[in-house]
């Protein structure tokens, strides 16, 4: 597979010319393309394909081939999609030994193709002056001229073009299928990176997001795995590099294989069974109905078989409610989950309003009782004072006149006659 792709790349490069105004019409041995030069782009002789550095992220590039006239530069192949290079200092070089290599800013080789699958070319000091020279014959084959080689390579490009049409790809890039399956369109959706998580459910949430993106673009199972791997970062990227080597021995890596390996590492079966147990034991307790329903929904996806039937789902939710809610709802015999949730929310709200009303009544009664007790204390205090005065009359001198009356009221205090003790006249009258 790599040999076939490598041959196709060489076909393209040997039948390309740079988009700039350079005089040579091929990528010659010893020359290179720079990521920092936007004009360093090769275009095939028939104008169908372009090759060069293709930006896939912030300051990250891949050497890629795309349809020249496509909408959004629809890519057909990328050399280093798993290891993009830096936007400064990276180069694609065709060495004099025939090897085509891609190096990063640190001059680290990240990709290479051995060009020994191509007929040998004569090394010359001036490419243009030797353009029509005969190519040395290959053992067992008749001599072939440079013009014949280019006709042969041009035929191969035509075959690639017809094969692209056969699989439903519009070579002009107008096909919605080619646009939807491009890596560029995937990046435009803004997929999140994953660099690891302490909560295993975050790893599962990332996989679900990836599948959501794949649902709106047209891409193969192998592309899904490749696109998702590109979004792995830091520790997870190192893990995938090691895992990928093992999976590649089994053939092209599909999305199913990627997902299984990812779950085994970041969302193992032990965590999944733990979530199943949480769902089985789930009760409302001190949560509100809304909070309980949110957690019920979150955990239910780990045990879909327990709530496969609508009535079973409604009953499972109802059984976990607080006792007073469960008692009020169970008599309604509702069999639809949404109706049970709605009735629980209404009953909870009614109960809260009733509780608030009773609390206000309790505070009002407490306030009224406090006023009544204060008036009663004042009345009791007055009676006690009178009793005190009477006691003084019985046992001691009158506080008004200073005499002892033997339990009789003080005539001076009451204004009665000192002679007969009656009121209305005085003794002198």
DSSP characters for 19-34? Answer: SSS-S--S--TT-EEE
Last residue of a domain, one of 247, 267, 287: 267
Q: How far apart are CA 263 and CA 243, in angstroms?
A: 13
Chain position carrying tokens 């243009």: 128
Quick check: 37 and 10 in contact, CB under 8 A?
no
Quick check: 314 and 335 in contact, CB under 8 A?
yes
Last residue of a domain, one of 218, 242, 267: 267
Q: How far apart are CA 398 and CA 413, in angstroms?
A: 10
**62 shares its domain with 37:** yes
Last residue of a domain, one of 221, 242, 267: 267
Q: pLDDT tens for residues 51-102?
A: 888 888 778 899 888 877 765 567 778 888 888 898 888 988 888 777 888 8
Residue 101: both structure tokens together:
């290599």
Q: What's the pLDDT at 47?
A: 75
Let me know if residue 257 belongs to a domain: yes
Neighbouring-strand partners of residue 54:
62
Let me know if residue 111 belongs to a domain: yes
Neighbouring-strand partners of residue 86:
60
Surface-to-core class of residue 108, CB atoms within 10 Å of its CB (0-12 exposed, 13-18 middle, 19+ buried) = exposed
Q: Which helix (H) or strand (E) holds 210?
A: helix 200-214
Quick check: 115 and 26 in contact, CB under 8 A?
no
Q: How far apart are CA 339 and CA 141, in angstroms?
A: 81
Q: Which residues of the chain have pLDDT under 70?
A: 1-27, 70-73, 114-182, 369-396, 406-407, 411, 418-419, 421, 424-429
Quick check: 105 and 86 in contact, CB under 8 A?
yes
Q: How far apart are CA 376 and CA 397, in angstroms?
A: 31
**259 shares its domain with 223:** yes
Q: What's the pLDDT at 374?
A: 62
Let me know if residue 29 belongs to a domain: yes
Pairing of strands 134-135, 144-145: antiparallel
Quick check: 183 and 228 in contact, CB under 8 A?
no
**65 shares its domain with 139:** yes
Q: What's the pLDDT at 304?
A: 82
Quick check: 145 and 122 in contact, CB under 8 A?
no
* HSE-CB for 353 with a 13 A CA cutoff: 6
**257 shares its domain with 117:** no
**139 shares its domain with 70:** yes
**83 shares its domain with 216:** no
**62 shares its domain with 136:** yes
**Nearest one of 202, 211, 212 to 298, comparing CA atoms:** 202
Quick check: 125 and 155 in contact, CB under 8 A?
no
Let me know if residue 248 belongs to a domain: yes
Chain position carrying tokens 């020249």: 68
**205 shares its domain with 88:** no
**107 shares its domain with 236:** no
- For residue 353, the SS3 value is helix
Let me know if residue 341 belongs to a domain: no
Q: Which helix (H) or strand (E) holds 85?
A: strand 85-86
Surface-to-core class of residue 70, CB atoms within 10 Å of its CB (0-12 exposed, 13-18 middle, 19+ buried) = buried
- C-alpha distances out from residue 59 to 34, 36, 194, 197, 314, Å: 14, 11, 19, 26, 52
Q: Which helix (H) or strand (E) holds 53?
A: strand 49-57
Let me know if residue 262 belongs to a domain: yes
**212 shares its domain with 239:** yes
**149 shares its domain with 193:** no
**151 shares its domain with 262:** no
Let me know if residue 425 belongs to a domain: no
- For residue 263, the SS3 value is helix
- For residue 60, the SS3 value is strand
- For the chain, the residue count is 429
Chain position carrying tokens 């295993």: 200
Chain position carrying tokens 């090897």: 99
Domain total in the chain:
2
Let me know if residue 395 belongs to a domain: no
- C-alpha distances out from residue 318 to 278, 332, 346, 419, 428, Å: 16, 11, 14, 92, 96
Q: Give me the domain span that covers residue 75.
A: 2-172
- For residue 142, the SS3 value is coil
What's 118's domain CATH number? 2.90.10.10
Q: Which helix (H) or strand (E) holds 113?
A: strand 109-114
């Amino acid at each position: 597979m790599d040999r076939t792709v490598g041959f196709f790349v060489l076909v393209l490069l040997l039948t390309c010319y740079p988009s700039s105004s350079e005089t040579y019409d091929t990528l010659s041995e010893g020359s290179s393309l720079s990521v920092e030069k936007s004009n360093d782009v090769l275009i095939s002789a028939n104008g169908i394909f372009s090759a060069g550095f293709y930006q896939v992220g912030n300051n990250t590039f891949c050497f890629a081939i795309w349809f020249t006239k496509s909408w959004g530069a629809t890519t057909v192949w990328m050399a280093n999609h798993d290891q993009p290079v830096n936007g400064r200092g990276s180069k694609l070089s065709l060495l004099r030994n025939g090897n085509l290599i891609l190096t990063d800013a640190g001059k680290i080789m990240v990709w290479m193709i051995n060009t020994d699958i191509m007929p040998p070319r004569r090394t010359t000091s001036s490419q243009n002056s030797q353009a029509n020279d005969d190519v040395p014959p290959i053992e067992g084959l008749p001599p072939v001229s440079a013009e014949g080689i280019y006709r042969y390579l041009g035929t191969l490009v035509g075959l690639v073009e017809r094969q692209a049409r056969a699989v439903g790809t519009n070579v002009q890039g107008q096909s919605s299928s080619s646009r939807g399956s491009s890596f560029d369109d995937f990046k435009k959706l803004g997929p999140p990176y994953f660099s690891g998580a302490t909560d295993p459910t975050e790893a599962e949430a990332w996989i679900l997001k990836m599948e959501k993106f794949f649902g709106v673009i047209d891409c193969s199972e192998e592309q899904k795995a490749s696109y998702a791997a590109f979004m792995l970062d830091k520790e997870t990227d190192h893990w995938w590099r090691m895992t990928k080597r093992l999976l590649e021995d089994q053939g092209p890596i599909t999305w199913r294989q990627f997902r299984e390996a990812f779950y085994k590492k970041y969302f193992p079966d032990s965590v999944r069974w733990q979530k199943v147990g949480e769902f089985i034991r789930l009760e409302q307790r001190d949560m509100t109905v809304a909070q309980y329903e949110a957690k019920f929904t979150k955990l239910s996806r780990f045990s879909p078989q327990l709530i496969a039937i609508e009535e079973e789902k409604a009953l499972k939710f109802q059984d976990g409610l607080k006792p007073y809610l469960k008692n009020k709802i169970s008599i309604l015999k509702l069999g639809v989950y949404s109706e049970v949730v709605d009735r629980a929310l209404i009953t909870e709200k009614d109960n809260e309003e009733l509780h608030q009303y009773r609390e206000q009544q309790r505070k009002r009664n407490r306030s009224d009782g406090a006023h009544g007790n204060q008036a009663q204390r004042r009345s009791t205090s007055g009676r006690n004072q009178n009793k005190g005065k009477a006691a003084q009359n019985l046992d001691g001198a009158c506080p008004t006149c200073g005499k002892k009356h033997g339990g009789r009221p003080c005539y001076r205090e009451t204004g009665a006659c000192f002679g007969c003790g009656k009121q209305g006249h005085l003794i002198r009258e």
